[in-house]
Amino acid sequence: MSDQQLHHLFNHLPSIGLIIGVMVMIVSLLFKKSQALSAGAIILLISGLSVLPVNKTGEDTEERIEQIAGVNESAIKDHEEAAEQVLPFAIASAVLALFYLVAAWKGWKWSNTIAIAALLVAGMAIYFVIEASHRGGLIRHPELDSAAIAPLVGGGEENEEDD
Angle at 121 between CA 115 and CA 125, to 5 degrees: 130
Residue 100 lies in a domain: yes
Give the structural domain span for 36: 3-153
Residue 139 lies in a domain: yes
Domain count, the chain: 1
Residue 144 lies in a domain: yes
> Could you tell me if residue 71 is left (phi over 0), alpha (psi between -120 and 50 degrees) or otherwise beta?
beta
pLDDT in tens, the chain (163 residues): 888 889 988 999 999 999 999 999 999 999 999 999 999 999 999 999 999 999 999 988 888 888 887 787 888 999 999 999 999 999 999 999 999 999 999 999 999 999 999 999 999 999 999 999 989 888 877 777 776 544 545 554 555 454 4
160 phi, psi to nearest 5 deg: -90, 130
Residue 145 lies in a domain: yes
DSSP 163: -
